[in-house]
Every structure is written in C-alpha cells, then in structure tokens.
C-alpha cells in the first residue's frame, strides 16, 4: 500500500497554552496519538471522568461565530481551527485533550496547531487505509445568498468567494488545492476577523471574551486593525473562511481529498449544513445495492 494512502496519527504528545477566543478561559490543549479508525476525539480533562466528544457532525451543538461540539454536559467551543490543522496535515486519528471548554485561540489562525502537530511527527498505520469520502456526483446547497457546490475530483480543491458590503472588504476570491504544503503556505496562518461595530454586541452575548488584536483582525469603518504586523495576505479574510471550511468539513469524519468545492459567502452554520449534504450523498452511494452478477449459462 502507498504510505500516502495509509491512516495517520502523531508520534508523540504535544501541548499548547493560551486563552479561549470566546470564553476567555485559560486553556491547555494537548494533541495525543490515537489508534487507527479512532478518528478525532476531544476530551475535557477538567471534568470528572474526562468525558470524550467525537469530532463528528452529530455532536455539533452550536455554530454562532464558531463551531461547538457537545455530548451530555460536556462542551468544547470553537474547534474549527484545531480541526483544520489536523486535516491540513492529513491526520486521520488524534485525541485532543483540553483543560477548559475551549481550545486556546493562540494567534487566531491554525498555524500554531499545525506547527505543533508537525513537531510531534507523523505515524502511519500501514495496515489501515484511509477511508475517503466519495460522492456520486454534484452535491449542492444554497441558503440566503450562500451557496456551495461539490463535484468529484482527483484532488481536494476549494474555490471560495467572500462578499461583504464594506468599503475595505471588496469581493475576495481564492482558489486553492489543499494538501499539507499548500495548506501551510496558503491557509494556515490566515487569522479570524470581525467588524469593529460587532465587538460590543458579541461581548454582551458572552462571546469574544478572550478576543484581542493578538488573536483576531478587526475591520473598522476606515481602517483595518491588527497587532502591528498588518495583514498576512491581502486577501487574508477569504483565506480564513476557506480555513474554517476545511475545519468544519473535518466533522464528516472522512478525508475529502477527492472533490472540488465552490462556495460563495461561506459561514459556520452553512458549512455544517453542506457537510451534512455531502455525508448523506456519500452514505447513499455506499448503501446503493450492487448490480446482480450476470454471466452466460
């Protein structure tokens, strides 16, 4: 078997510390190796029994300004950047242990998680092939000006368009093939962002409690506020939306390396609904009866 077709995990544990973007809670995240076919699993080390939450669509409990997972009384907020880093590095199996209800925001991108995983090294399960998501044909989803379209392809590619009615945020378009090298170069470092007029409202709703210019870009009426280094890409905002999409689609639980996705105005809630459509299409493909064997008598 080609080793690139094998399932992977990491070789050694690796940890990061910081505060949650929305909760503001201090948090330590530790990536740990996981066995083949385990998938990605979150563990709340701060709760009795260290409850586990599978990183799967069925456990999504909220999508307001981030994707949150939950099972029983355990919750993990804002998982998309962590998941994007794992998929960006083509990691199939990993345990993600957190000491609070949200991973650390780090710099607002997936880069710190990607670099930590890279430093941990990759382990390939040579007897366990990847279980790709296969779709039978075009899969589409539209809702309130947001649209998605996926078609089978020999590789994983995202074509994303971001539209906002703001003078500093023109129509942004990005087309990128997703593999570990291009994910690192083109998407991993793109940071989360919000509009300045939203900040007070978000905080009144219990969100963005840990947000700052250290982990987000803020778009004001006539300028873009960063931590002093400016934008990392001139189209950083659409790159971050593509990053979020990669993370949210990870919740399907199978590698997406064989499709092209075109999207306009993507967002977390729509990402999840589109992911469900992809999963249903693939499930239907798996459940179709095979043609009866024929032969001469």
Residues 6+ apart with CB under 8 A from 151: 135, 137, 138, 139, 259, 260
Contact 141, 273 (CB under 8 A): yes
Q: Which stretches of the chain are assigned E, i.e. beta strand?
A: 6-10, 14-19, 26-32, 40-44, 52-54, 60-62, 68-71, 74-76, 94-98, 122-129, 139-143, 146-152, 156-162, 172-177, 193-195, 217-219, 224-225, 259-264
Burial class (CB in 10 A: 0-12, 13-18, 19+), 209: middle
Give the whole-angstrom CA distance, residue 27 versus residue 122.
Answer: 25
CA 89 to chain CA mean position, Å = 12
- Quick check: helix, strand or coil at residue 157? strand
270 counts as catalytic: no
| Complete domains list, the chain, with CATH | 3-129 (3.30.230.20), 139-287 (3.30.1700.10)
Residue 228: predicted pLDDT: 81
Contact 78, 20 (CB under 8 A): yes
Contact 139, 278 (CB under 8 A): yes
The residue annotated as part of the active site, out of 22, 81, 240, 268, is: 268
Residue 286: predicted pLDDT: 58
Rounded to 10 deg, the angle between the 80-88 and 111-120 helix axes is 50
pLDDT tens per residue across all 297 residues of the chain: 666 689 999 999 999 999 999 999 999 999 999 999 999 999 999 999 999 999 999 999 999 999 999 999 999 999 999 999 999 999 999 999 999 999 999 999 999 999 999 999 999 998 999 999 999 999 999 999 999 999 999 889 999 999 988 888 889 999 999 999 999 999 999 999 999 988 988 999 888 999 999 999 999 988 999 998 899 999 999 999 999 999 999 999 998 878 999 999 999 999 999 999 999 999 876 554 444 443 443
Residue 2: predicted pLDDT: 67
Give the whole-angstrom CA distance, residue 20 versus residue 114.
Answer: 18
Give the whole-angstrom CA distance, residue 86 versus residue 187.
Answer: 13
Q: What is the pTM of this model?
A: 0.93
């Amino acid at each position: 078997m080609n080793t690139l077709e094998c399932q992977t995990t990491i070789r050694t544990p690796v940890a990061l510390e910081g505060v949650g973007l929305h909760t503001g809670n201090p948090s330590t995240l530790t990536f740990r190796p996981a066995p083949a076919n385990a998938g990605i699993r979150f563990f709340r080390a701060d709760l009795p029994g260290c409850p586990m939450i599978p990183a799967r669509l069925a456990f999504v409990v909220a999508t307001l300004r981030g994707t949150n997972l939950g099972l029983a009384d355990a919750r993990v907020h804002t998982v998309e950047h962590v998941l994007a880093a794992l998929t960006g590095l083509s990691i199939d199996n990993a345990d993600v242990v957190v000491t609070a209800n949200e991973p650390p925001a780090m710099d607002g991108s997936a880069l710190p998680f990607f670099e930590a995983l890279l430093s941990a090294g990759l382990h390939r399960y040579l007897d366990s092939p990847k279980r790709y998501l296969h779709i039978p044909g075009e899969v589409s989803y539209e809702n309130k000006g947001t649209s998605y379209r996926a078609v089978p392809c020999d590789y994983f590619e995202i074509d994303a368009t971001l539209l906002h009615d703001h003078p500093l945020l023109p129509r942004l378009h990005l087309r990128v093939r997703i593999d570990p090298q291009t994910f690192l170069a083109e998407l991993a470092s793109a940071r989360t962002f919000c509009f300045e007029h939203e900040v007070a409202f978000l905080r009144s709703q219990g969100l963005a409690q840990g947000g700052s210019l250290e982990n987000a870009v803020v778009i004001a009426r006539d300028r873009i506020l960063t931590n002093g280094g400016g934008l990392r890409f001139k189209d950083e905002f659409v790159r971050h939306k593509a990053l979020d999409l990669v993370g949210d689609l990870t919740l399907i639980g199978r590698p997406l390396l064989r499709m092209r996705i075109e999207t306009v105005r993507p967002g977390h809630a729509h990402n999840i609904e589109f992911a469900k459509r992809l999963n249903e299409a693939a499930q239907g493909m798996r459940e179709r009866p095979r043609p009866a064997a024929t032969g001469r008598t």
